[in-house]
Structure 1
Amino acid sequence: MSLYKLKKGDIIGIVSPSGSITKEIMIQFNEGVKFLKEQGFNIKYGKNIFKVDDYSAGTPEEKADDINEMFADKEVKAIICSQGGDNANSVLPLLDYELIKNNPKVFMGISDITVLLLGIYKKTGMITFHGNDIMWGFGWNPSKYDEDEFKKIIVEGQIGKIIKNGERKTVREGITEGSLVGGNIKCLMKLAGTDYFPEMKDSILFLEEHTTTPEECDYQFNQLKQMGVFEKIKGVVIGYIYGLQAENENLIQMEEVLLNVTKEYTFPILKINDFGHCCPNTTLPIGAKVRLDATNCDIEIMEHYFDM
């Protein structure tokens, strides 16, 4: 299922499937919109994008309607979510997956949007994109790395090695290939036991988190282990873990917990800082074939996913 590569003048639709855009953070939203306009894109808002329903950006039905309408709109060439939050999973049963499958286009976000990225990929086979959102990515002092990676992946459709943005570390050596699957680990676990949990066979699992503790990492990895995930995957990439790296750097880190929990396995594990919360983000195509070289600290996107 090929996607449409963006070009200047194209319309990007913005939706709010999770947290609400409050007055206090409107300036960041506007900065994110400004960033995309400066890249040469036009913007279209979902009709419910500024709704506030207590802690949520509207009802599940309103949020789903905006996403469905953006996929149905032939003028809209890509959809980027305004921000994360904590309740996007309420939207999953209300999406029109047949409509989405018949109108494939770039769908991108991060954090709580993980549930939608994975759910849509599971139900349709359409590649989705783990990358910057409007407010906390493009609207919060985007770096040149953010800008370059967005252009490289979404506009130019380049494949190849993911550009390094900071320290990388081999956790367990090895070289393997598989389909890229993952995102925020808490949000991945929201899908456990549902029809939206991704197929893990022959996958490269990538994980990031905002706030967490070693204890939380331990029970999450043990849950994945008990679900049989580690029997199926080909490798793991751990991204930037803000709650441990920035706030508790003296504690055992996520990748060390994973190594302990999976000591009977041999799949390669790589630690990088190229995606996650509160850091510059590359754009990762969920569902694309990648090559993981944990020995030499490289990840390479191998599959073209745009019409060339």
Structure 2
Amino acid sequence: MKLNRRHILAGVAAALSASPVFATQTAPRAAQGHRKPARLRKGDTVGLIEPASASDEPFQLQLVEEAIVAMGLKPKRAPHILDRYGYLAGRDKDRAADVNAMFADKDVKAIFAVRGGWGSARLLPYLDWDVIRANPKLLTGFSDITALHMAIAAKAGFTTLHGPNAGSAWGKASWDAFYPIAFDAATSVLVNPEGGEDRMVQRRWRTQTITPGKATGRLLGGNLTVLAALVGSAYLPDFTGAILFLEDVEEAEYRIDRMLTQLGLAGVLKNLAGVVFGQCTSCTGSSSGVYGGFTLNDVLRQHLGALGVPVYSGAWFGHIADQFTLAQGVMTEIDADAGTLRMLEPAVT
């Protein structure tokens, strides 16, 4: 994961000529011991935080606030959101104080990370876990926000949403994925959009089955680089029986290989129920085109195909213009043959 990655990749939105499928199902089952925040409602106040890298200029924050208003919500800036400290959005303790303040604020119903980048893991020792545990709220974001998702799963035990950052594109497809889960407590079935190509056989947004079958478990994961960096810390949850989901950006095949090796050696991959690998955007490096070099698919099959559990790749989340919203900690069923994720319980109350 590169420090200078951006929230979206130009041109991807134009490639989406058909929307993904977001169906619902009934008879939800609850994940044992897992808590859920309240759903969002129109008119709710939501906190804006920058726990990692800084935005380029204040006008970007204005655009973010306009997007939040367009959602029918009221944005509230964290006190230090316009701070700068090198490539970070303020000093670690100040960024952590913003997170603590938003969880403590009774008027704030949910929290949106403006962007990712790098730096969220630096906050973890400064977070007030008593306050966070006592005030479960929907935290939404992806990429570097994986550090907060994993820490909350490990330390506080409530649902957060791996979805677009507040500063992401928020196209119709992203909104259509987010709204039912966050506002309506829907149990969505997430299916990749059609490619919309003028071809005999569609290639864009195709999923690949690595190991066939269905699996059920708590959905946990996020950015591979960030997750691997948390190994050995107290901020990584127990993945026993979980559905692990992963994505990344601008990582060469050998680095994906290295990080999956690390997860394997640490025991994270040992007792999973299943795995979904999303988009690995611009994940090519020196091995591409070299005789004997491994492709990304080779690496995924080597590490994930050997687990003996259902696995598929190419799911519609990661560093792309629009993406699924995935509920951390919620019981989910995957079908590796069909390439689907089916929520078995709501993410919110």
Counterpart position of 1:203: 242
| 1:52 matched to 2:80 | no
The equivalent residue for 1:269 is 311
Residue in structure 1 matched with residue 232 of structure 2 by the alignment: 193
Q: 2 CA distance for matches of 1:32 and 1:80?
A: 10
| Higher relative helix content | 1
Cα distance, 1:169 vs structure 2 = 2.0
Match for 2:319: what amino acid? H
Structure 1 residue 297: Cα displacement: 1.5
* Structure 2 match to 1:3: 37
* CA displacement, residues 12-70 of structure 1 (integer Å, 9 cap, x when unaligned): 100011001222xx444332321220121111000000100111111111011111111
Out of 36, 40, 43, the position equivalent to 2:68 is: 36
The residue that corresponds to 2:343 in the other structure is 301
> 1:204: how far off?
0.6
2:340 partner letter:
D
- What corresponds to 2:52 in structure 1? 18
Tell me the CA shift for residue 5 of structure 1.
0.7
Query: Does structure 2 conserve the Cα–Cα contact (< 8 Å) formed by 1:84 and 1:111?
Result: yes
1:153 aligns with 2:181: yes
Of 70-79 and 222-231, deviating more is 222-231
Q: Distance in 1 between matches of 2:219 and 2:114?
A: 23
Alignment identity in percent?
30
CA contact (8 A) 1:114 1:183 kept: yes
**Aligned partners of 2:308 and 2:110: how far apart in 1?**
39
Match in the other structure for 2:10: none
Q: Distance in 1 between matches of 2:304 and 2:192?
A: 26
**Contact 1:29/1:134, CA 8 A, preserved across alignment:** no
Q: CA deviation at 1:262?
A: 4.2
Partner deviation per Cα, 1:194-221 (whole Å, 9 max, x = no partner): 0001211001110000111111111111
State the TM-score, normalizing by the size of structure 1: 0.92
Give the letter for the 1:154 counterpart.
A
The root-mean-square deviation of aligned C-alpha atoms, in Å, is 2.0
| 1:137-194 per-position Cα deviation (integer Å, ceiling 9, x unaligned) | 1xx3x32111111111111121131142332221211111111111000000110110
Unpaired runs of at least 5, structure 1: none
Check 1:174–1:32 CA distance in 2 against 1; reply closer, same or farther (3 A cut): same
2:253 paired with 1:221? no
Determine which structure has greater relative contact order: mean sequence separation of CA pairs < 8 Å that are 6+ residues apart, divided by chain length. Answer: 2
User: Cα deviation per residue 1:127-146 (whole Å; 9 max; x = unaligned)?
Assistant: 111111122x1xx3x32111
Change in CA separation of 1:58 and 1:161 when aligned onto 2, cut-off 3 Å:
same
1:84 counterpart = 2:116: yes
